[in-house]
Amino acid sequence: MKFRRNAFSIGASCCASIAIICLLLSFSHAAQAQRLSDNVIPSHYSLEFTPDLKAATFSGFEVIDVNIKAPTNVITLNAIELKIGNVEIDSHDGGAQAGSVSLDPEKQQAALTFAKNISAGDATLKIHFTGILNNELRGFYLSKTAKRNYAVTQFESTDARRAFPCFDEPALKATYDIALTIDAGDTAISNSAIASDTPGPGPGKHTLVFATTPKMSTYLVAFVVGDFQCTRGEQDGVALRVCATPDKVALTPFALDVAKFALRYYDHYFGIHYPLKKLDLIGVPDFEAGAMENFGAITFRETDLLLDPKTASIRSQRNATLAIVHEIAHQWFGDLVTMKWWDNVWLNEGFATWMENKCTGAMHPEWEIPQFVAADEQRTLNVDAQPTTRAIRARADTPEEIDQMFDSIAYNKAGAALLMVENYLGEETFRKGVHAYLAAHEYGNATAEDFWNAQTEVSHKPVDKIMESLVAEPGAPLLKFGPPGEFGVPAGGQVPVAQSRFFLSPGITPDPGQKWTIPVCFKAGAKKQDCQVLTPSSPSLSVPAARVFFANAGGNGYYRSAYAPAQYAALVAQVETSLTPEERISLTGDEWAQVRADKATVGDYLDLVAALRSDPSSDVLSNAIENVSVIKNSVASTQEERNAIAAWIRQTFAPVYAQLGNASASDTSNQRALRAYLFSILASAGKDAALKAQARQIADQYLSAPASIDPGLGQIALSIAAKDGDAELFDKLQKIYETSNDPELQNTALRQLVLFTNPELLERGLEYSVSPKVRNQDSARLFNTAMRIPENRDATWNFIKTHWDQVQAEFTTEMGSYLVDGTGDFCSVEARDDVKNFFAAHPVPATNSTLRHALEHIDGCIELRRLQEPNLKKWLAAQGQ
C-alpha cells in the first residue's frame, strides 16, 4: 500500500436474535493478541455478494474449504460489522450439521460451535451473512460522486472480516471464486478476469463470475462495483486496463503507459513473469490511502492515478508514477510472496518503496530520482532520531497495533536499508538474491530471515548480520571520524571511527551498548567507492586514497556522519567540485543534524547553504533551504530576526534566480523545478514584494489556462497568491474544486482554501473543510495543511477545539492521526501543554504514537530555539543584517 494510514478507529454495537447474530463489534484499546488457532486452515473460498448501492447494504454467501488438524467442535474465524445467518459444516465422514455463533468483541472473532466433533481432515463451511456498505473507507464501503454511488473494498490490513467471515491473517492463504450480482447497467472488477456474465437472478440484475484467483492472503481480495470505464492495453501477454468513473476516463492513458513500462521492467528484474493474466488499475472517488496492491486489481486515490501530462506538474507526474510502480512491485513482493505476520510488513512496504525508485528512475532518468531519494532519506533520518521511534521490526498483534506499523519506518527507513545493502553488494548480486528469495517462496509466506539468508547465500557477504542489525535496532548510528593518519599511518591508511545512536536532542545520552553492523562506503573517485563493514568492535576503517575524504559515497548509507574540523572544512571547500548531488544532500543533512544536536551552529549551516547557493540541482538546493525556513520559523523568535533572515535570502538567492532567466520550452525538468523553487523561497520566505505581486498574475494564468504555463510554477504561485488572497480568488478556487473533473486541479484548489491568512477567509476555509462538500478522505488533511502555516496555526487550532464535534465526525481510520500530527509545529511550552491536555480530554483512537511524536517535535523546537537563537543573533550581526 502506498502512503498507508497509521491510525485505527472502530465504533459499533452488538445484538442477537434467534435467527440472526449481529456482529457489530467494538474494539477495545486493551485488546490482547488476536491470533487465530492453527488447527483450522482454509484452502479455498467461494464468495457470492449482492450489493444494493442505493440502500448501502449487501448480502453474501460463502463456502470455505478447510482442513482440520485435530478433531474439534469449534471453529473460530474473524468477522465484524456483519449479520451472520445460517452456518453449516459438512465433513468427509460426519455429514452436514448446523452451528451456532458466539462472539468475542475484543478479538473481532466469531466462534462457530457444532453439536458433534468434526473429525480431522477436509471439511466445508457454509455461511450466510449481510452487511452495510459503510462510509469509513474500509471493508466493503460506499464511495460517492455527485451522480451516483459505488461499492469498493479496502481490506489491508485487517478489514476483509468486515466484508465476509474469514481467516483474516496473511499466512492463511487460499484461492477464491468470487461472484457479484449487481444492477444490469453496472460492471464489477475483481482480482481475476470475468469468467461469465449471466442475466439475473431477478429483473434488472446480472451476475458476474470471476475466474479462480491464485493463492493469496485475505487482505489482497478486492472487488469494486459501478459504471467504471477503462482504457485497455497489453504488455508481454498481460491484459492491462486503467479504469475510472466515466467523467475521468480521459485521464487514464498516462497510467497505462506507466503500467506497461513497469510490467516489462519487473519481469526482467525479478526474473519471474507477472503471475496473473490481467492487471487492472482503478481510480476510486473515495479512498483513504494513496493506493492498494490487491492482486490483479490495484485501487488508487484518483490523484495518484489520473492526470493529464499536458497540465500536470512534474511533481504530480512523479508522485503518480511512484505510486503506480510501487503497487505493481507489490504484485511480486507482497502478493506473490507475503510476510507471515505484520511484524514484517516492512518486507512488503520497504521493498516496494526501494523498488519504486529504481523503476521510476529507469523510466524517467531526467527526473533525477536518486537525488529525490537522498533528500527524502534526510527526513527519515530525522524522524528516526527521535526517542520514541521504533525498530523496523516490532511486535504487532491487535488491529490497532498492526495498523500503526504502516509508517515512515516501514516504508522509508526499510527502503533506505535495502538501498544501502544493494549499494554494498552491487546491483546484480542483490538482484540475484531477490530472485532466489521470490523463487523459493512463490505463492507462500516468508520471514525477514528468509530474505536476508537468500542474500547472504548469493553474495557470500554478511548480509544477515547487517540486516539483523538494521531491522532490530531502533534509531540510526552517528559515525564520528577522526583525521586519517591519527594512528601514525599516512592518509589513505586507517581512520578512527566511533559509533553511537544519534538523537536530535543533545539532552539525551545514547546507550553505549547500542551498536550496528553496517557497510560504510568511502568515496574513492568520481564514480568509485570503497565499502567496508563496520562492526560494534571496529575501532577504525581503511581509507582509500582519494581527492576528498567523504564517508558516505553516493549518499546511500543510512547513518549520520561527523568529521574532524579540518576534514569538514575541506569538504565545504570542495562541496561543488568533488561531491555528487546526492553526496551534497547527505552532507547538508548531516550538518543540520549537528545543529539540532548542538554540535554546530545555525551560522555554520547557513554558511554551508551560501556555499551551495549556485548549485544546479533543484533537489540539493531545496533540501538545503528547507532548513533555512525552519531557522526562520522556529529558531527566530522576533519579527526583527525573521525580517533579517528574509533579507539574507533575497541577497543570497535573488541573483541566482535572475541568472536562470525566463522559462523556455527547452528547459529540463530540473531547470523548471529549480526556477519554481527559487521563486517560492524568494516570494514566500524572502518576502520579495515584486515576486509576490507576480505570483497573483501567474496564478490567474494557471487557473484560466493550466497548459499555458509550467504547472509546477503555476501551483507554487497559486499558494503564494492564496496567502494574501481576496474573496474573489477564494470563490474561484472553491468553484474549481466543486466543478473540475481533473483530480490534480481539484486537489490543488481545495488545498489553497486553508492557506488564506485573511481571518475571515481562513474561517471560511476551515468551515468548508468540515462541510458535506469535502470528502472525509480530505478533511483532516486540510487541517494538517493549515497548521503548517505559521500565520494560521493559532486560529486553526482554536477552530479545531471549538468545533471538535464537527471535526472528529469526519475522521476515518487514518484521518485522526493527520490532524494530531499537525499540532507538532507549535514551539512553546504553553502550546505543548494545551495540545497534550486537549487530547487527554478528547482522545483520538490509535493516535497515541502520533501524539507522542507531535509533543516530541514541539519539545525539539523549544530546545532548538533556546540553544540556537543566541547563535543566530551573532551570525546575523556578523552579516550586517
Catalytic residues: 327
DSSP-assigned letter for residue 568: H
Positive or negative: CA dihedral 37, 109, 402, 346: positive
CA atoms of 145 and 157, how far apart (whole Å): 26
C-alpha–C-alpha distance, residues 696 and 783, integer Å:
24
CB 781 within 8 A of CB 818: yes
CA distance 10 to 25: 8
Q: Which residue is listed with cell 497540465? A: 311
C-alpha angle 141-307-362 in degrees, rounded to nearest 5: 105
| Phi/psi of residue 555, nearest 5 degrees | 65, 25
- Lookup: cell for 732: 474561484
Sheet holding 139-144, edge to edge: 139-144, 149-154, 223-226, 187-190
Could you please report the per-residue DSSP string of 801-830?
HHTHHHHHHT--TTHHHHHHHHGGG--SHH
For 793, what's the count of Cα atoms within 13 Å in the CB-facing half-sphere? 15
**Contact 463/421 with Cβ under 8 angstroms?**
yes
Are residues 244 and 231 in contact, defined by beta-carbon separation less than 8 angstroms?
no
Query: Judging by beta carbons within 10 Å of its beta carbon (0-12, 13-18, 19+), is residue 204 exposed, middle or buried?
Result: exposed
Distance of CA 606 to the CA centre of its chain: 31
* Alpha carbons 470 and 419: distance in angstroms, whole number: 12
Cα–Cα distance for residue pair 848/857, rounded to 1 Å: 14
> Could you tell me which of 228, 222, 142 has the C-alpha nearest to residue 185?
228
Indicate the pairing of strand 40-52 with strand 175-183.
parallel
Backbone phi and psi for residue 146, each to the nearest 5 degrees, phi listed first:
-65, -25
Q: Is the dihedral of CA 832, 837, 838, 842 positive or negative?
A: positive
What burial class does residue 23 get, using C-beta atoms within 10 Å of its C-beta: 0-12 exposed, 13-18 middle, 19+ buried? buried
Residue 343 neighbours by CB distance under 10 Å: 20
Is the CB of residue 139 less than 8 Å from the CB of residue 163? yes
Number of neighbours of residue 714 by Cβ within 10 angstroms = 24
Backbone angles phi, psi at 749, to 5 degrees: -65, -45
Could you write out the three-class secondary structure of 272-319?
CCCCCCEEEEEEECCCCCCEECCCCEEEEEHHHCCCCCCCCCHHHHHH
Q: How many CB atoms lie within 10 A of CB 95?
A: 9
Q: Give 512: exposed, middle or buried? Use CB within 10 Å, 0-12, 13-18, 19+.
A: exposed
Q: Between β-strands 494-501 and 57-68, what pairing exists: parallel, antiparallel or unpaired?
A: unpaired
Count CB-CB contacts under 10 A for residue 639: 8
**Cα gap 800→794, rounded to integer Å:** 10
Cα-based distances in Å from 734 to 304, 307, 713, 786: 21, 20, 21, 16
CA 418, distance to chain mean position in Å, is 17
Of 795, 745, 743, 746, which Cα lies nearest the Cα of 766? Answer: 795
